[in-house]
Amino acid sequence: MPNYKSRLSKLRKRMNAAGIDALVVFEPHNIFYLCGSNGGFTGAKIGLMVDANTSTLIIDKRYLEEARRTAVADKILAWTVPSYAELVEIAKKLKAKKIGFEPAYVTVKQYERLAKDFEGVQLVGVTGLVEPVRETKDAGELRKIAKAAEIGDLAFAHILEFMKPGVAELDVAIELDFFMRKHGSEKPSFETIVASGTNSAVPHATPSNKKIEAGDFVTLDFGAVVDGYHSDVTRTIVVGKARQKQKKIYGIVKEAQATALNAVVSGAICQDLDEIARDIISDAGYGEAFVHNLGHGVGLEVHEAPALGKGSETKLKPNMVVTIEPGIYLNGFGGVRIEDLVVVTKSGYKLLTHSTKDLLEL
């Protein structure tokens, strides 16, 4: 059982600093993180109010019984549409003056309702209260992510046997997804990417009916989910013999990835890591072709804080889980991305993805 008390006490410190008496959380992953209720992943109505001493979960009636069994909150109430009456009662007892909400997850309609129900209380949009707490993982979370990454490694080994000229990208994607589910993944971590030939020049290509041809680069980007926790890995291979230019591009990305990886350590600044990889790719003449950030945090969401990119001054801390994934994408030619998932440690990092990064020629 996760230590919800410790999570809430970290959040309360941040709420104090933000000067709010209570926070109404609507983002479902944040709610799950703070109390263990998972009704929110289905799009059901759910909200969690955290004040200085208590937490109150309001949840769609269909998930009420399950929440009462599994969630950890001082009060668990049915969502009575369309009012926040119960929360207002608690706020009144608290004599709350300022209540925070997550502006990115509240619709205009919801806001109007909140403003009406909480009349007389100042409602303030506050961003980044729960997410930074989620950045650092506890032992239980690390185990789940490591398990998800292990399923990814097994799936990669399996798919190498499956890919050959004439097999469609879509069939490779389905096979990857099926294999991961068979080996303990709840669902794909995100829509699996299988991009072959010139399609691999699109960083987030959707698998198509295109058949893999001899000589194609194939970029595979996929992950598993274990108990709500994600993994994320990318490997690029060549089906058949690699051409000189393919070897060259691959070599640059591999060097950028290895160099950035070796700079991962507690205290490193996220945007500096991005720059380390970007410099290598730019020096090789392909700076314009590295069109995305170096990486991102991974946990309850496949993309979460911290961002490893320009403008991100976050310092890495032990037990953060991040990806390192530089790439080069050349229109009309193809692309290469190599992505590992790592846990940050005091002295460096621990690799969670173990699939080879040598250029494979199938």
Nearer residue to Zn ion within complex by CB, 131 or 221: 221
Nearer residue to Zn ion within complex by CB, 150 or 221: 221
Q: Which stretch binds Zn ion (CB under 5 A): 36-44, 226-234, 241-249, 305-313?
A: 226-234
* Site map (CB under 5 A) of Zn ion, residues 338-357, x = contact: -x------------------
Q: Which stretch binds Zn ion (CB under 5 A): 31-39, 172-180, 229-237, 340-348?
A: 229-237
Phi, psi dihedrals of residue 350, rounded to the nearest 5°: -120, 125
Q: Is 30 in the site for Zn ion (CB under 5 A)?
A: no
Q: Which stretch binds Zn ion (CB under 5 A): 175-183, 231-239, 251-259, 284-292?
A: 231-239
CA distance 344 to 135: 11
Q: Which of residues 312-331 bind Zn ion (CB under 5 A)?
A: 323
Whose structure tokens read 């806001």? 111
Q: Which stretch binds Zn ion (CB under 5 A): 26-34, 173-181, 219-227, 310-318?
A: 219-227
Nearer residue to Zn ion within complex by CB, 38 or 189: 189
Nearer residue to Zn ion within complex by CB, 221 or 274: 221
Give the residue, chosen from 51, 177, 232, 304, that forms a contact with Zn ion under the rule CB under 5 A.
232
Instruction: Provide the minimum distance between the beta carbon of 310 and Zn ion in the complex, in angstroms, as a whole number.
Output: 17
Q: How far is CA 100 from CA 113, 125, 128, in A?
A: 15, 6, 11
Q: Give, to the nearest 10 degrees, the angle between helix 108-117 and helix 85-94.
A: 50
Please name every residue paired with 22 in a beta bridge, in sequence order, or none if there are none: 51, 99
Q: Is 199 in the site for Zn ion (CB under 5 A)?
A: no
Q: Is 221 in the site for Zn ion (CB under 5 A)?
A: yes
Whose structure tokens read 């009916």? 209
Closest CA to 361 of 258, 220, 243: 243
Which segments within 243-326 are labelled E, that is strand? 295-297, 304-308, 321-324
Following CA atoms 27, 30, 32, 36 in sequence, which dihedral angle do they give, to the nearest 10 degrees?
-140
Instruction: Provide the minimum distance between the beta carbon of 121 and Zn ion in the complex, in angstroms, as a whole number.
Output: 40
Instruction: Provide the minimum distance between the beta carbon of 188 and Zn ion in the complex, in angstroms, as a whole number.
Output: 11
The secondary structure of residue 325, as a DSSP letter, is: -
Nearer residue to Zn ion within complex by CB, 37 or 192: 192
CA distance 360 to 236: 8
CA distance 79 to 88: 13
Give the residues lining the site for Zn ion (CB under 5 A). 221, 232, 234, 323, 339
